[in-house]
Structure 1
Amino acid sequence: MATEFGASMPEETARELERLRREVLMAKEELRARFEFYFRVLQEKHLEMEVQLDEVVRMAEAKVVDRHNKLDQLLITKAEVTQNLVHNELNETLENVSRELDQKIQVLEAIGDRVPSVWLEWHEEWLEGGMGGLCQVVEGVSYVNRHKPVWSGVNKGSGSDEIFNPIGLSIDRDNGDIYVSDWSVHRIQVFCKDGSYKRTIKAQGMSYPSDIAVTPHQLFVICFLSDNILKLDKVSGEIMCQIETGYSIFCIRADVDTLYAGIVEVNHISHHSLEDLSKIKETALNSPHITQDTRLRDLRTTPSLFVVLFKECDYLIQLFSRDGNFFQVIALQELLTSPIRICLDRHQNIIVSDYGANNIKVISIEGHIVTTIGHEGEGPGEFCSPYGIDINEEGRIVVVDDNRSHMLQFF
Structure 2
Amino acid sequence: MATAEPVAMGEDNFVVELNGVRDKIITKFSELIECLKAREDNLLKELDNIITLYGVYKDKLLRVKTKKEDLNRVGNFLEGSFHSSVKLMNDKYLKEIDLKLKSIEIPIEPSMVKFVCENNSLLAEINKFGQLVDKLNPVSACQSKIPSLVDVSENEKRIELFNPCGLTIDLKTGNIYVADYFHHYVRVFDSNGQHLFKFGDEGEGKMEYPRSVTSSGDRIFISQGTGLSHEGSDGILLYKLDGEFVCRIGTRGKGELEFNCPHGLAIDEASMDIYISDYNNNRIQILTKVFTFKSQFGSEALSCPHDIKLTRDYISVLDESDPCLHLFNYEYILIKSVVSLGIQFIPYYFCIDNFNNILLSDPNSNSVHIFSPQFEFIHKITVSNSPTGISVDNQSNLVVVYQADLSCRILFLKYL
Which range, TM-score by smaller chain? Answer: 0.5 to 0.7
Identity %: 20
- 1:265 counterpart SS class: helix
Q: Where does 1:349-364 land on structure 2 (aligned, <5 Å)?
A: 349-364=357-372
Match of 1:393 in 2: 394
Query: Per-residue displacement from partner, 1:361-410 (whole Å, max 9, x unpaired)?
Result: 01123221111111xxxxxxx22100000111112211100235551112
Match of 2:291 in 1: 277
Q: Do structure 1's residue 201 and structure 2's residue 199 form an aligned pair?
A: yes
- 1:184 counterpart SS class: coil
Q: 1:329 to 1:76 in 2, by over 3 A?
A: farther
**1:262 touches 1:268 (CA, 8 Å); kept in 2?**
yes
Give unpaired runs (5+ residues) of structure 1. 1-60, 93-119, 124-136, 158-162, 375-381
Q: 1:62 to 1:170 in 2, by over 3 A?
A: closer
Aligned length: 293
Pick from 233, 237, 247: which aligns with 2:259? 247
Q: 1:219 to 1:144 in 2, by over 3 A?
A: closer
**Paired letter, 1:341:** Y
- 2:146 counterpart SS class: strand
For the residues of structure 2 that align with 1:352 and 1:70, how far apart are their CA atoms? 26
Pick from 236, 245, 250: which aligns with 1:229? 236
Match of 1:84 in 2: 41
**1:153 touches 1:406 (CA, 8 Å); kept in 2?**
no
Q: 1:238 to 1:212 in 2, by over 3 A?
A: same
- 2:41 counterpart SS class: helix
Query: Per-residue displacement from partner, 1:22-57 (whole Å, max 9, x unpaired)?
Result: xxxxxxxxxxxxxxxxxxxxxxxxxxxxxxxxxxxx
For the residues of structure 1 that align with 2:392 and 2:42, how far apart are their CA atoms? 34
Pick from 325, 328, 340: which aligns with 1:320? 328
Q: Where does 1:376-387 land on structure 2 (aligned, <5 Å)?
A: 382-387=383-388
The TM-score normalised by the length of structure 1 is 0.62
- 2:43 counterpart SS class: helix
Choose between structure 1 and 2 for higher RCO, CA contacts under 8 A separated by at least 6 residues: 2
Q: 1:370 to 1:227 in 2, by over 3 A?
A: same
Query: Per-residue displacement from partner, 1:292-322 (whole Å, max 9, x unpaired)?
Result: xx211111111331111112226x1121101
Larger fraction in helix: 2
Q: Where does 1:180-199 land on structure 2 (aligned, <5 Å)?
A: 180-199=178-197
**1:151 touches 1:410 (CA, 8 Å); kept in 2?**
no
For the residues of structure 2 that align with 1:209 and 1:227, how far apart are their CA atoms? 9
The higher radius of gyration belongs to 2
Give unpaired runs (5+ residues) of structure 2. 1-16, 50-135, 227-232, 252-256
For the residues of structure 2 that align with 1:285 and 1:236, how far apart are their CA atoms? 33
Q: 1:165 to 1:311 in 2, by over 3 A?
A: closer
**Paired letter, 2:264:** C
Match of 1:178 in 2: 176
Q: 1:66 to 1:222 in 2, by over 3 A?
A: same
- 2:182 counterpart SS class: helix
**1:286 touches 1:325 (CA, 8 Å); kept in 2?**
no
For the residues of structure 1 that align with 2:385 and 2:266, how far apart are their CA atoms? 26
RMSD: 3.6
The TM-score normalised by the length of structure 2 is 0.61
